[in-house]
Amino acid sequence: MSEQNSSRTRRGRGAKSATAGSAAVVEPELTDEEKYEAELAEKARQDGGGWDSVAPGKADNFGKSFSRMIGLLKPSAVWFVIVSILGAIGVVLKIGRASCRGRV
């Protein structure tokens, strides 16, 4: 196989071309806290098969965890608000219906 043919076969579907001008993807470094969190998550995942697995614990800093979760939900914020409002309306209608029938 010639040099030209071998370079052609290397550039298949999953191969990256150096001449395509693609930028290198740089992975961000994890902080010590994030590494510790990842180790705990991996341990919980490995032990999560039975009743004797790692019990979930209380978050050390709930506010920070909650704000990170809200940040992850930001792209879906509109749907989150719509579903929350519809859920609240459903609860109000369910309670109202039961109180009208005298079941409360």
pLDDT in tens, 4-57: 544 444 444 444 554 555 567 777 788 888 888 888 888 877 766 666 655 666
pLDDT band at 61 (very low <50, low <70, confident <90, very high): confident
* Mean pLDDT to the nearest integer, 96-103: 78
Nearest residue to 31 (alpha-carbon basis) of 70, 80, 64 = 64
The pTM score is: 0.36
Q: Please name the residues in contact with 59: beta carbons below 8 A apart, sequence gap of 6 or more.
A: 65
